[in-house]
Structure 1
Amino acid sequence: MTEQTGALPALAVKLCAPRGFCAGVDRAIQIVELALAKYGAPVYVRHEIVHNRFVVDGLKAKGAVFVEELDEIPAGHRERPVIFSAHGVPKSVPEDARGRNMFYLDATCPLVSKVHKEAEIHFRRDREILLIGHAGHPEVIGTMGQLPEGTVSLIETEDDARSFQPKTGRRLAFITQTTLSVDDTKGIVEVLRDRFPDIVAPHKEDICYATTNRQDAVKVVAPMVDAMIVVGAPNSSNSQRLREVAERAGCPRAVLVQRASELDWADFAGIRSLGLTAGASAPETLVEEIIAAFAERFTVSVEEVRTAEETIAFNLPRELRLMAEAQSASVAE
């Protein structure tokens, strides 16, 4: 604890709600934990199950082994379960697993799977497909990998939308990554619709409810505070977008940190109010850790600012449902 002299300065913390885990992340983590309980360790996971080092390390400690590609799994362990991350994978990955006679569980978020299905429908209807998203992100790689190479054109910015030239004479359709900035995506879509008035849009917006809700909460809180902290990983798209949203909403200082140990206290010198939120893959314990760190240096008061209620839950894979039901029954007793 930092040595203090005299009374600690007051700090009003405004805690964004909703924040933290979404239903898709919660489901993915539960799939790994249930697989470990049912099949024992090791259970292999292709790519980080969600983009959070704290979560990944916790699952490693329980017996999960993380790999980037299936060929990293030792030949003698090919019978062990392998789990695909919440971000989704190209179709070639489950095909590869079947070719190796591997048993796999798919933890792809159902809202990402919805985008995959939309891409396939557009393809079957002979439409030229545009994907609004960030190059290199696992979700984008997985979505583009649902269709033959070269079928989907990636649009990252409004400039991309302005310069895009259709490759065919077919009708255009667009889909989006689920974790984008709502405002950035709106601008890109407006450019596309202005250039291509008959472009086919998703029946329901592809940006997921959790991304939208967390950004909306930040938009409300950011103008009220002297600084904003987003708890999340640097490779988490939805966490990076929350930091950007806070800056655009008028917060003088907005930072992204993974743990309290990363806080640069110079960023918070002289503040009287602090906004705090967490990306969809950041557990609540890390939010509590940040508050505790500030409580060592300030007299902290916490107010939750809630802008939406979330009640969505997703079904688990069939292979794990009985295990989950048994655990729930045991807790109830």
Structure 2
Amino acid sequence: MKILVTGGAGFIGSAVCRHLIGETDHSVVNLDKLTYAASLTSLAAIEADPRYRFVKGDICDRAMVRALLDAEAPDVVMHLAAESHVDRSIDGPGAFIQTNIVGTYELLEAVRGYWSSLPAGRREAFRFHHVSTDEVYGDLPLEGGLFTEDTPYAPSSPYSASKAASDHLVMAWHHTYGLPVVLSNCSNNYGPYHFPEKLIPLMILNGLERKPLPVYGRGENVRDWLYVDDHARALELVATRGEPGRSYNIGGRNERSNLAVVEAICDALDRFAPGEGGGSRRALISFVTDRPGHDLRYAIDAGRIETELGWRARETFETGLEKTVRWYLDNEAWWRPIRAERYAGTRLGASSAKV
């Protein structure tokens, strides 16, 4: 198949592109606007492959997207282009409304026009795969419960609200216009090439440099952690074998509190990079003002994709975290320029948004 990936220079998108080119026979067209969190260096391993092509562009430009669809004639569109950081959505929600809601609408309309023009056989086989988040479901209590595909939406942040809106748009285009869509909602991703402002890479790099490790509140918030390469495999299955009109939750079954995650990172750094200064890096942990609307717990029931599509996460949190820490230790040439030019190593979103 030929697959058009939107947002393919981002963290998850680049993992998807690398997987599709490195592990399958599919070809890829990567459409990305190259905003602050995008990095073409994340795609260096596949950039010369004849089955891969990069196109710079904005999903909000419907005419450009339609022209690209007509020129490339993809069999699948995998939509990962999004503003994705909760903290940034608190400080500046407008970009999230524009990209995640308006952008998804413009993309859907471009795709609908393209899909309608296909001959019957190709129109039937075509899929639009919308990649979303478990944060659309809101909050879970610490004592139990899991998000399923039938969990009602209850988003808490501007980010999760914008993703919830885009999910509803995608399903509406299926029910109203017959567009063959599949949808997936994932838990927190981590792994190589992760933008340095997110929790795990921020803590790795701050810890490596023996800088403070700022943890929101008391670090009690729980997330289900999913290694990004496991997620990329799952997304390929959903896009190519998922049932139209159906959603699939993707999680790693690796629940950890934020404090436990940071402590595990400290311990890994102490083993792999003891360096100078001595002492456990746990001493660098500091508790900072919690961000507004911080959901307590997320946890995914991945039973549907495991049963129907045969996917399983290969990495435990321990094996995935070790791979991640080692990757950052070995790839300073990737993260150092990004950290110096685009991100200062602090946390965002701890203060209420200003009008």
> TM-score, length-normalised on structure 1?
0.32
Higher relative contact order (CA 8 A, sep 6+): 1
For normalisation by structure 2, the TM-score amounts to 0.31
Question: Which structure would you say has the larger Rg?
Answer: 1
